[in-house]
Amino acid sequence: MIWVLHGSCRWWSKDTVAIVTGANKGIGLSMVKRFAELGVTVILTARDTKRGLKAVESLMAQGLHVHFFRLDVSDPDSVKTFVSWFRLKFGALDILVNNAAVSFNEIDENSVEHAETVIKTNFYGPKLLTEALLPLFRLSPSTSRILNITSRLGHFDKLRNPKIRSIISDEEKLSEEQIDNMVSLFLSNVKQGTWKSQGWPEIWTDYSVSKIALNAYSKLLAKQNQGCGLSVNCYCPGFTQTSMTRGRGTHTADDAAAIGALLALLPPQELPTGKFYIAHSNLSNKREALRLGLRVLKFRSFEVHLENVRLKAHQNKVIFLEDGWGFAFW
C-alpha cells in the first residue's frame, strides 16, 4: 500500500525536522521510513541502542538517511539527555510523533501486573518528552505538529465509571490535575486489588487507561496551544501486525504508518487540532465509527492517491477509500 501526497500541497523540505519515538520496529520504524522517503529530516529514537542502530542500518541499506539517538521516554534522565542533544544538533523541531508504548498482555489476556510501567511509558513518557520539547518547536507558518499514536481502547466511553468518564470528557473544565488524579486513582485501585469493581475498562485495562490519559492530555494540550502554531492530534492505527499484537492484525505496520505520515504532513490549511483519528481497514467498521461520533475531515486543495485511487469522502461523516481503507476523527 503506497500513499502519495499531491505535489501541490507539499509544504515541507529537508529542513523540516521530525522525531519518532519507539522507532526501532513496527509502526515507529515504518513512520521513520515514510518520512525519510518524503524528504523530511527524521530522528529515529529507541531505548535500546543496539536495536536502534540496527534499524538505522536497515534504512541505510534502502538508500535512506536518518539520525539516531537513544531515548527511553519513561526515564527522565534519558529525556533530558536527548533534548539537550537535540537542541545542540538541530535547534528547532517541526513534528513529534509519540509512538513509544508497551503492553504486557497477550491479545486475550487482561493482567494489570505491570500497570505502573505501562502508565509510566504510555502516558507520562510522552507527556514528559512533549513538555521538554515544547520550547523547541519552530511554530512556523506551516504549523508545528504533535501526533500521538494511541488506540480506540483509549476512547472515553471505555470508562464504565460515569463520574470519571464525565470529568475526563468535559473539554471545557478538563485540567492536567484531573487527568493525573484519574491515573493515580487507577494505580491505587490496582494496588488495593479493587480495580475490577471500580468501572475501569474491561479490555487491556492498564493499556486502555494509559491511552485514555494520553488522549485527554492531547485534547488539553491542543486547547492550551490553540492559535499558537502548534497542532496536537491523536491517531489510532487500528489492529496492526506488530510485536504488541504478536503479529496478528488486519494490516501491516507500513499500512498504518502510511496513514500516520499522511496525517502528520497535512497541509497547513487542512490541519485541525485536538482531534482523534482512527484508521479502518474494513468497511464493516463503519457502523462502529458512526457510533463513536466520528466526523469527516473535509479536504479542499488536498489530494491523496492510493495506487492512483483518489481519496473519496462519503456521507455519514466518515472518509473511506474504494478498497475499504478509511479514517476519520472526532
* Active-site annotation holds for 207: yes
Q: How many domains does the chain have?
A: 1
Q: What was the pLDDT predicted at 280?
A: 58
DSSP class of 311: P
- Total H helices, total E strands in the chain: 10, 15
User: Which CATH number characterizes residue 50's domain?
Assistant: 3.40.50.720
Query: At residue 126, does pLDDT exceed 60?
Result: yes
Strand runs (DSSP E) across 37-195, as ranges? 41-46, 67-70, 95-98, 144-149
Q: Which residues pair with 44 in a beta bridge?
A: 20, 68
pLDDT digits 0-9 by tens, 132-173: 999 999 988 788 999 999 998 999 999 999 999 999 999 999
Structural domain boundaries enclosing 286:
3-329
Q: What was the pLDDT predicted at 298?
A: 33
> In this structure, what C-alpha cell is assigned to residue 320?
473511506
Q: What was the pLDDT predicted at 330?
A: 34
Cα–Cα distance, 4 to 15 (Å, whole number): 20
CB 237 within 8 A of CB 279: yes
Query: At residue 320, does pLDDT exceed 70?
Result: no
Q: Which residues pair with 97 in a beta bridge?
A: 20, 147
Q: Which long-range contacts (CB under 8 A, 24 or more apart) does 291-298 make?
A: 292/152, 292/155, 292/157, 292/330, 293/330, 294/318, 294/328, 294/329, 294/330, 295/328, 295/329, 295/330, 296/328, 297/270, 297/272, 297/327, 297/328, 297/329
The residue-averaged pLDDT of 273-302 equals 50
Q: Which residue of the set 207, 217, 235, 277 is catalytic?
A: 207
Cα–Cα distance, 164 to 143 (Å, whole number): 33
Higher pLDDT, 8 or 130: 130
For residue 25, the Cα-to-chain-centroid distance in whole angstroms is 15
Burial grade of 283 (CB within 10 A; 0-12, 13-18, 19 or more): middle
Quick one: which of 105, 110, 54, 123 has its CA closest to 248? 105
> In this structure, what C-alpha cell is assigned to residue 246?
504478536
Q: What was the pLDDT predicted at 254?
A: 85
